[in-house]
Amino acid sequence: MSATLAPQSSSTESVRTSTPRWLSVIGILGVIAMAFTVWLGLWITPPDVTQGNLARLLYIHPPIATVALYWAGGVAALASLLYLWPRTRSFFWDRLAASAVEVGAVFSALTLVTGSLWGRPAWGTWWTWDARLTSTALLLLLEIGYMALRRVPAEPAIRARRCAVAALLVAIDVPIVHFSVNWWNTLHQGGTFLDPGFKLHAHGSMLWTFLLGFIAFTLIFVWLLGMRYRIEVLQDHVGDQELEVTLAERWHEGDELAPVGAGPVGVDSDDGGAA
Amino acid sequence: MWRDALLVAGKDLRIEARSRVGLWQVLPFAFLVLILLAFAIGPDDAPLRHAAPGIFWIAVLFSTVLAIQRSVAIESGEGTRDGLRLSGIDPAGIFLGKAASIGLQLAVLQIVLWAGVTFLFDVRVHVVWLAITASVLATVGLSCAGVLYGALSAGLSVRDTLLPLLVLPVLAPVLLAGTKAWQAALAGNASAGTEWLRLLIPFSLIYLVVGIVLYGPLQESA
């Protein structure tokens, strides 16, 4: 995997521009699984006894939340740790962590949107200060903070280390935020409505649709993660190429000013500032 | 490490004592937050009294951001960070020293601010030890996490706008736990408040340990 995706940002290394086959296969499988989830969820499964058609949203909401919190969060934290660990330090982990946070942010936002859509008819309000809603919103803000930090231009190694530390700090904070908000709310009122355990009591087609939803969103997550990783590699590659073009242009400027063979040394030392 | 920490804390505090930025900028700002939030909540006594602990902690949190920015700004002069790095001082010592300096300033700020809250909102602390313990623990957590995020944002051109976005969600548990503990201290309900100390203790300890471990690598990347 890492061989085709060329983790090192060496300018001479050729970078593959087409999508690797395994990634396309995962993408196609994800779309098929998703189509089946939609078909089963909307047409085949019966309405829920208590919630009616509203329960159909639960085929996608818990899987999205699982991807956002556990898959994306886990990958980001682990990859950041592996980047900081001197023995495993590689830009592969840095890019993977950044991709996981970005994809995770999308899924966190989707968790909030689908939760809100469910909450409006179920609770009669788009938003309530439920522990899960609040901690997911904070998670999204933490992820946006990480992305903002990543956008700040810096040398790749410095940016990577800074972002890895930031991701680890977020990873440490998420459980604390979760507990604190949970405590904050449950001290006020009874148990939360959103108990993920209760759906496992569902039977037959409902249970299968629910499980298929998890598989579909996990596949889509892996696919998005792979695609985002590729964009990261290509971005670095383009950056390197631009640098090479700029360097070549400056060398030519030197050719015009000085006779061949005498000029480039002085021009070269200027390029550090320009690059 | 401890000697280095004392040196760094002494240096930062001396600079603060001479520049008086804390006294003339951070402290008035904290009072401004008190008054603005009172405007937002309205002039009725009951809601204001109920919100007083929250208002107090919001003011402390915003002031923490200013204190962190100030602590980073001290080191932002030409070559200052490199000088500190090359001085041979243990990074963990620098972390502890900076955290101690911010912590001490926040402690003073909280004492003055609490006098202000008592005066403006007419509330009284019934369980004093609970309020003090919560404040001490929260101050350790705020300053440790603050110094870490300060180091993370040091040297960035967008430091001042990025820092609040990075650090405030992280400090949210302190706001929650601090507010709840103080509410309990005001209501005289010690047992409800001690519950929240159980959140502040791990928060402070985690950021203290993480700071000691991660400050070195962070400093190199600034």
Verify whether the Cβ–Cβ distance B165 to A170 is below 8 Å: no
Q: B41 lies in which domain range?
A: 2-221
Mean pLDDT, all residues of chain A: 80
Please classify residue B125 by burial: count the beta carbons closer than 10 Å to its beta carbon, then call 0-12 exposed, 13-18 middle and 19+ buried: middle
Q: Supply the DSSP symbol for A187.
A: T
From chain B, pick out residues whose CB is under 8 angstroms from the CB of A169: 145, 148-149, 152, 170, 210, 214
Q: Number of structural domains, chain A?
A: 1
Q: What is the mean pLDDT of residues B145-149?
A: 93
- Among A158, A169, A183, whose Cβ lies nearest the Cβ of B199? A183
* Within a domain: A94: yes
> Could you please report the per-residue DSSP string of A220-261?
HHHHHHHHHHHHHHHHHHHHHHHHHHHHHHHHHHHHHHS-TT
pTM metric for this prediction: 0.83
Which stretches within chain A are classed as H helix?
A: 2-5, 21-39, 61-66, 73-84, 91-123, 131-151, 156-186, 204-257, 264-274
* Within a domain: A15: no
CA-based nearest residue in chain B for residue A145: B166
* Within a domain: A203: yes
Verify whether the Cβ–Cβ distance B156 to A161 is below 8 Å: no
- Interface predicted TM-score (ipTM) of this complex, two decimals: 0.86
From chain B, pick out residues whose CB is under 8 angstroms from the CB of A77: none
Q: In this predicted structure, which of A5-9, B121-125, B147-151, B176-180 has the lowest mean pLDDT?
A: A5-9
Under 8 Å CB pairs connecting chains A and B tally to 80
Residue B83 confidence (pLDDT)? 81
Verify whether the Cβ–Cβ distance A149 to B210 is below 8 Å: no
Verify whether the Cβ–Cβ distance B217 to A161 is below 8 Å: yes
* Closest approach of A140 to chain B, Cα-based (Å): 10
The strand pairing partners of A48, in sequence order, are: A52
Verify whether the Cβ–Cβ distance A165 to B218 is below 8 Å: yes
Amino acid at the residue B172: A
pLDDT surpasses 90 at B129: yes
Q: What is the mean pLDDT of residues B30-53?
A: 91
From chain A, pick out residues whose CB is under 8 angstroms from the CB of B170: 142, 169-170, 173
User: Number of C-alpha atoms within 13 angstroms, CB side, residue A150?
Assistant: 22
Please classify residue B110 by burial: count the beta carbons closer than 10 Å to its beta carbon, then call 0-12 exposed, 13-18 middle and 19+ buried: buried
Q: In this predicted structure, which of A14-23, A86-95, A101-110 has the lowest mean pLDDT?
A: A14-23
Q: Are B214 and B148 in contact (CB under 8 A)?
A: yes
Q: What angle do CA A195, A196, A198 make, to 5 degrees?
A: 75
For A49: left if phi > 0, alpha if psi spans -120 to 50, otherwise beta; the answer is alpha
**DSSP 3-state assignment of A48?**
strand
From chain B, pick out residues whose CB is under 8 angstroms from the CB of A83: none
pLDDT surpasses 90 at A103: yes
> What's the pLDDT tens digit per position in B88-118?
888 899 999 999 999 999 999 999 999 999 9
> What's the pLDDT tens digit per position in B159-190?
888 999 999 999 999 999 999 999 999 998 88
Verify whether the Cβ–Cβ distance B158 to A152 is below 8 Å: yes
* Three-state secondary structure of B54-122: HHHHHHHHHHHHHHHHHHHHHCCCCCHHHHHHHCCCCHHHHHHHHHHHHHHHHHHHHHHHHHHHHHHHC
Verify whether the Cβ–Cβ distance A180 to B199 is below 8 Å: yes
Residue A249 confidence (pLDDT)? 87
Verify whether the Cβ–Cβ distance B165 to A180 is below 8 Å: no
Q: What is the mean pLDDT of residues A192-210?
A: 61
- Among B148, B165, B210, whose Cβ lies nearest the Cβ of A148? B165
pLDDT surpasses 50 at A258: yes
* Within a domain: A18: no
CA-based nearest residue in chain B for residue A138: B169
Distance in angstroms (rounded) separating the CA atoms of residues A256 and A254:
5
From chain B, pick out residues whose CB is under 8 angstroms from the CB of A166: 152, 166
- Among A149, A165, A181, whose Cβ lies nearest the Cβ of B162? A149
pLDDT surpasses 80 at B3: yes
CB contact, 8 Å: A171 with chain B?
Answer: no
The strand pairing partners of B15, in sequence order, are: none
What tokens does A257 get? 């000013």
Q: A151 lies in which domain range?
A: 32-233
Residues 6+ apart with CB under 8 A from B198: none
Q: Number of structural domains, chain B?
A: 1
- Among A144, A154, A165, whose Cβ lies nearest the Cβ of B217? A165
What tokens does B101 get? 């300096």
* Within a domain: A241: no
Closest CA relative to residue A41, chosen from A63, A69, A67: A63
Q: What is the mean pLDDT of residues B216-221?
A: 76
- Which of A83, A180, A185, A188 is the mutation pick for testing B, counting most B CBs within 10 A? A180
From chain A, pick out residues whose CB is under 8 angstroms from the CB of B149: 169
